[in-house]
């Protein structure tokens, strides 16, 4: 359960850093499972439905960049999505009736971890309201050197920003960055076992991993049960109730979205890389 001070900080800034959410024993189970999935993914080759690879190899091997939908890949990830420490924090920011929207495991491997440029989450999957929050669970220590999360405090209050270039959705804020004071950006290093709560419209990014240490980040996106996706990729578990009850109602906020016209199977790395080409 969050303190009043923590709730106020989240409301003001659109993010909150929480330490010690997971135990060392829980971390070991998750890391061991990640190692097993990475070995399986590397054996499958590319493309495959389990993972995405870095654009460059390391020591002659493909490097896994993202595990898709870990919620479906191993029992420990499905169970973690309902972890009391996680859902208690989620409930304090979006209410008691909680659904899972999606999950992913981002891997910044030593020396090759791809950067992610400034973006908001919700423009990728517009909903009827903005009561969605991402929980970024750190499986490794996250540092400035290995590409920790960066966020711009209060940026969620600007609403959805334009993620297009020449009318095409590219997964990053372009012209609208002129409206943003990037000098206010803060780095959010955090020890393994910690978690960042991130509002679905908070601007965030991360740098490449220039260190010798991995930075694996398990991400669950949760939504209030009266929020429904309007556009975007879907998965088999989207909308599963994890806490509370389904109110059987739909809540509409006055939000204007630019619908993301990305092709099926595209991810943020592909979209942002295209911007540089």
Encode the chain (277 residues) as per-residue pLDDT tens digits.
Answer: 899 999 999 999 999 999 999 999 999 999 999 999 999 988 887 768 889 898 888 888 889 999 999 999 999 999 999 999 999 999 999 999 999 999 999 999 998 878 899 999 999 999 999 999 999 999 999 999 999 999 999 999 999 999 999 899 999 999 999 999 999 999 999 999 999 999 999 999 999 999 999 999 999 999 999 999 999 989 999 999 999 999 999 999 999 999 898 887 788 988 898 666 5
CB 166 within 8 A of CB 274: no
Query: Each residue of 227-269: pLDDT tens digit?
Result: 999 999 899 999 999 999 999 999 999 999 998 988 877 889 8
| Distance between CA atoms of residues 108 and 206, nearest Å | 10
Query: Each residue of 187-239: pLDDT tens digit?
Result: 999 999 999 999 999 999 999 999 999 999 999 999 999 999 999 989 999 99
Q: Which of 174, 231, 251, 198 is nearest to 89 (CA)?
A: 198
C-alpha torsion angle, residues 107, 238, 263, 148 (rounded to 10) = -30
Report all structural domains of the chain as residue ranges with CATH numbers, in order of start.
4-276 (2.60.120.620)
Cβ neighbors of 202 (< 8 A, separation 6 or more) are 13, 14, 15, 120, 151, 152, 155, 156
CB 143 within 8 A of CB 233: no
Task: Give me the phi and psi of 47, to 5 degrees please.
Answer: -80, 160
Per-residue buried b or exposed e for 208-234, using 16+ beta carbons within 10 Å of the residue's own CB: ebebeebbbbbbbbbbbbbbebeebee
CB 128 within 8 A of CB 224: no
């Amino acid at each position: 359960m969050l303190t009043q001070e923590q709730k106020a900080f989240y409301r003001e800034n659109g993010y909150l850093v929480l330490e010690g959410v997971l135990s060392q024993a829980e971390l070991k189970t998750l890391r061991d499972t990640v190692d097993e999935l990475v070995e399986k993914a590397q054996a499958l080759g590319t493309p495959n439905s389990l993972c995405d690879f870095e654009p460059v190899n390391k020591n002659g091997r493909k490097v896994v960049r993202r595990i898709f939908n870990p919620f479906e890949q191993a029992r420990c990830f499905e169970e973690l999505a309902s972890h009391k420490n996680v859902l208690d924090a989620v409930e304090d920011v979006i209410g008691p009736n909680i659904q899972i929207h999606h999950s992913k495991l981002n891997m910044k491997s030593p020396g090759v971890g791809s950067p992610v440029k400034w973006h908001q989450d919700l423009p990728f999957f517009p909903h009827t309201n903005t009561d969605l929050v991402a929980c970024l669970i750190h499986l490794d220590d996250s540092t400035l050197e290995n590409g920790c999360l960066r966020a711009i405090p209060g940026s969620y209050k600007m609403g959805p920003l334009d993620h297009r270039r020449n009318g095409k959705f590219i997964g990053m804020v372009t012209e609208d960055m002129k409206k943003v004071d990037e000098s206010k950006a803060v780095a959010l290093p955090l020890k393994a076992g910690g978690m960042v709560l991130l509002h679905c419209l908070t601007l965030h990014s991360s740098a490449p991993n220039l260190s010798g240490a991995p930075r694996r980040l398990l991400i669950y996106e949760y939504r209030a049960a009266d929020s429904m996706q309007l556009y975007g990729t879907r998965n088999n578990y989207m909308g599963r109730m994890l806490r509370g009850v389904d109110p059987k109602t739909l809540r509409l906020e006055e939000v204007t979205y630019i619908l993301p016209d990305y092709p099926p199977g595209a991810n943020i790395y592909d979209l942002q890389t295209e911007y540089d080409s």
